[in-house]
Amino acid sequence: MHLFVYSPLSAAARTYLLQQLPADVAATFAADLNREQVPAALQAAEVLLGNPPPALLSGPLPNLRFWQIDSSGFERYRDVRLNAAVANMGDFFAWPCAETMLAGMLALYRHLPELAVLQTEKKWVGGAFVRNRSRLLRGRRVVILGAGAIALALRQQLSGFECPVQLLARTAAQAHLHSREALKAALPETDIVINCLPGSADGFFSVDLIAAMRPGSVYASVGRGNTTDEPALIAALQSGHLGGAVLDVTATEPLPANHPLWALPNVLLTQHTGGSQLFEDEGKVDVLLRNLELLRNGQPLENLVELSRGY
């Protein structure tokens, strides 16, 4: 069996993969090829790991049996048509993404970014700087957009802070809100909105929903940047209607140097690092190896997705 590794694995993860592969599986790494050699390697592949540009997948891949995407999101592949099973990383990134959002909200509420700047400037301003301004996360009313793995991890983590949490999803049984209208009605009584939506929900959190948010509330986003009306969000932050934002994703990445989000003191940008974790590449390899074993034994694969549906 021929495995083509498009993922830019670390040297340690590459070694780990080669040590764990069955003897009858040969691996080719895109990092060892020049650009002209990659299409031929894809043509020969029976198993693919990684996220090539969609254009490389536009032609027939007659040998491909299984594609292991190495991310949770895969919206840019919605127009790709393959006669192969496709899986994403499932809930691999869920807990770290949830922790990043939780950390960001705590940082805003406890003024940690401002205190960190003072530390670099070696300025001691004492308790007067934060007293009577710091807020508690405990008991805050939260709406999470989505009901997938990240949303469920966030709900679990927020339970430790005694936060009432409502999930928004059209059909998920665990969701409390099932429509834009229900969400809009809930927003005036919500302290925090956390967006976990996939890129297929383009522009979902629009100007009218931002306007409906409670004055002083916080917006967080760890799904995809295109799901938020960014100009409307910026205007709400600049006017003081919103108390702050924690953004792991933005509409344009990397964020241009002249973008207004850089300069807003009530915004914490985590630069699409939310899912990062120690030994991340090795963890991706483990996901591939589990599915490879299932494939070889003719058993159902984990985390199968439909490219055309976006999930």
User: Can you say how many angstroms the Cα of residue 72 is from the centroid of all Cα atoms in its chain?
Assistant: 7
Instruction: Give me the pLDDT at residue 144, please.
Output: 98
Q: Name the residue range of residue 232's domain.
A: 94-269
Mark whether 65 and 99 lie in a shared domain. Answer: no
Q: Pseudo-torsion of CA 230, 178, 89, 278, nearest 10°?
A: 60
pLDDT tier for residue 59 given thresholds of 50, 70 and 90: confident
- Determine the Cα–Cα distance for residues 219 and 193; give it in Å rounded to an integer: 5
- Determine the Cα–Cα distance for residues 8 and 33; give it in Å rounded to an integer: 12
Mark whether 110 and 223 lie in a shared domain. Answer: yes
- Determine the Cα–Cα distance for residues 68 and 58; give it in Å rounded to an integer: 17
Q: Pseudo-torsion of CA 41, 42, 43, 45, nearest 10°?
A: 90
Omega prior to 260 cis, within 30 of 0: no
Mark whether 72 and 213 lie in a shared domain. Answer: no
Phi (first) and psi of residue 284, to 5 degrees: -65, -40
Measuring CA to CA, which residue among 150, 179, 155, 153 is closest to residue 166? Answer: 155
Stated as kind and residue range, the H or E segment containing 239 is: helix 230-239
Mark whether 204 and 130 lie in a shared domain. Answer: yes
- Please report, for the domain that includes residue 260, its CATH number: 3.40.50.720
Mark whether 22 and 139 lie in a shared domain. Answer: no
Mark whether 84 and 143 lie in a shared domain. Answer: no
Q: Pseudo-torsion of CA 71, 250, 311, 278, nearest 10°?
A: 30
Mark whether 207 and 83 lie in a shared domain. Answer: no
Amino acid at 289: L
Q: What angle do CA 276, 85, 225 make, to 5 degrees?
A: 40
Q: Pseudo-torsion of CA 111, 116, 122, 124, nearest 10°?
A: 20
- Asked if the model's pLDDT at residue 310 lies above 80, the reply is no
Instruction: Give me the pLDDT at residue 129, please.
Output: 84
Instruction: Give me the pLDDT at residue 309, please.
Output: 84
Mark whether 162 and 235 lie in a shared domain. Answer: yes
Rg (CA), the chain: 22
Q: What is the mean pLDDT of residues 49-62?
A: 94
- Determine the Cα–Cα distance for residues 289 and 66; give it in Å rounded to an integer: 12
Give 200-229 pLDDT, tens digit per residue: 899 999 999 999 999 999 999 999 999 999
Domain count of the fold of the chain: 2
pLDDT tier for residue 36 given thresholds of 50, 70 and 90: very high
Q: What is the mean pLDDT of residues 154-175?
A: 97
**Inside any domain, residue 308:** no
User: Can you say how many angstroms the Cα of residue 273 is from the centroid of all Cα atoms in its chain?
Assistant: 8
Mark whether 43 and 101 lie in a shared domain. Answer: no
Mark whether 62 and 177 lie in a shared domain. Answer: no
Mark whether 113 and 255 lie in a shared domain. Answer: yes
In this structure, are residues 67 and 45 in contact, taking their beta carbons and an 8 Å threshold? Answer: no
Report percent pLDDT > 90 for the chain. Answer: 94
Mark whether 251 and 289 lie in a shared domain. Answer: no
**Inside any domain, residue 150:** yes
**Inside any domain, residue 218:** yes
